[in-house]
Structure 1
Amino acid sequence: MKSNSQPIKLFVVVAFSCTSLLVSLTPVLAKPTLSSSLSDAYGGLRLRSDAKTTLAQATTFNLPPLPPGPPPGGRVRGGAKRGEPICPLTKPKLTALVPFTESDDSVINVWGQTTVERPSWFFYVPYTKDSPYEVEFVLQDQDSNEISRPPIALPDKPGVIRVSLPSTAPALALNKQYRWFFTINCNKQTISPPTFVEGVIVRVELNPTVVKKLQTTELLKRYAIYAENGIWYDALTILAQMRQKNPKDATLQAEWRHLLGQIHLEDIAAEPILLEQP
Structure 2
Amino acid sequence: MQRFLLAVTNSGTIATLSAILSLELAIAPGFSTTRQSPQFTGGVEPIERDKFSSERHRRRINQNWQLSQVFRPPDRGAPPRTEDAGTRGGLDNSLRQQPLTLLIPDLNPEETNFGLTVSEHPTFFAYIPRSRAKTGEFILLDENNQLVYSTSFPMPAQPGIASISLPPTASPPLEIGKWYKWYLIVPGNSDEWSNNDISNAGWIQRIEPGEALENQLQDATPGNIPGLYAEAGIWHDALASLVDLRRIYPSDTSLAKDWEDLFTSSGLAAFSQERLVDCCEVEER
TM-score range, shorter chain: 0.7 to 0.9
Matching of residues 1-278 of structure 1 within 5 Å: 38=43, 40=45, 47=52, 49=54, 50-51=56-57, 52=59, 53-54=62-63, 55-56=65-66, 58-67=68-77, 70-73=79-82, 79-80=86-87, 85-89=89-93, 90-103=96-109, 107-128=110-131, 131-132=132-133, 134-167=135-168, 168-187=170-189, 191-275=194-278
Q: Identity over the aligned pairs, expressed in percent?
A: 25
CA distance in 2, matches of 1:37, 1:163: 7
**What corresponds to 1:14 in structure 2?**
none
| C-alpha displacement of 1:224 | 0.8
- Cα offset, 1:100, TM superposition: 2.3
- Residue 269 of structure 1 deviates from its aligned partner by 1.1
Deviation per CA, 1:40-70: give whole Å up to 9, x if none.
469xxx65732222324632211013436x4
2:130 is aligned with what amino acid?
Y
Structure 1 unpaired stretches of 5+: 1-35
CA contact (8 A) 1:164 1:277 kept: no
Q: What are structure 2's unaligned runs of at least 5 residues? A: 1-40
* Residues 63 and 230 in structure 1, CA contact (< 8 A), matched pair in contact too: yes
Of Structure 1 and Structure 2, the greater helix share is in 1
SS in structure 1 of the partner of residue 153 of structure 2: coil
Offset from partner CA, 1:65-97 (integer Å, 9 cap, x none): 3436x4254766xx41xxx62333442111211
Let me know the Cα RMSD of the aligned residues. Answer: 2.6
SS at match of 1:149: strand
C-alpha displacement of 1:275: 2.2
2:6 alignment partner in structure 1: none
Give yes or no for contact 2:69–2:230 (8 Å, CA) kept in 1.
yes
- CA–CA distance in structure 1, aligned partners of residues 113 and 83 of structure 2: 5
Q: Is the 8 A contact 2:135 2:152 kept in 1?
A: no
Preserved contact between residue 163 and residue 276 of structure 1 (Cα < 8 Å) = no
Partner amino acid, structure 2, of 1:97: L
Contact 1:226–1:235, Cα closer than 8 Å, also in 2: yes
Asked which structure has the greater CA Rg, the reply is: 1
TM, length-normalised to structure 1: 0.74
Return the alpha-carbon distance in structure 2 between the equivalents of residues 75 and 133 of structure 1: 26
Partners in 2 of 1:144 and 1:217 — Cα distance?
38
Indicate how the Cα distance of structure 1 residues 74 and 133 shifts in structure 2: closer, same or farther if over 3 A, else same.
farther
Mean Cα displacement is larger for which, 56-65 or 187-196? 187-196
Aligned residue identity for 1:58: S
Give the letter for the 1:146 counterpart. L
Q: Secondary structure at the match of 1:199?
A: strand
Label 1:215 to 1:37 Cα distance change in 2 as closer, same or farther (>3 A): farther
**Alpha-carbon spacing, 1:264–1:74, altered in 2? closer, same or farther (3 Å):** farther
Distance 1:142 1:71, change over 3 A: same
Read off the aligned partner of 1:271 and give its amino acid letter. Answer: E
- In structure 2, relative to structure 1, the CA distance for the partners of 1:117 and 1:97 (3 Å cut) is same
> Are the counterparts in 2 of residues 47 and 218 from structure 1 also a CA contact under 8 Å?
no
CA distance 1:177–1:140, change in 2 (3 Å): same
Contact 2:183 2:201 in 1 (8 A): yes
The residue type equivalent to 1:169 in the other structure is S
Contact 1:75/1:199 (<8 A) preserved: no
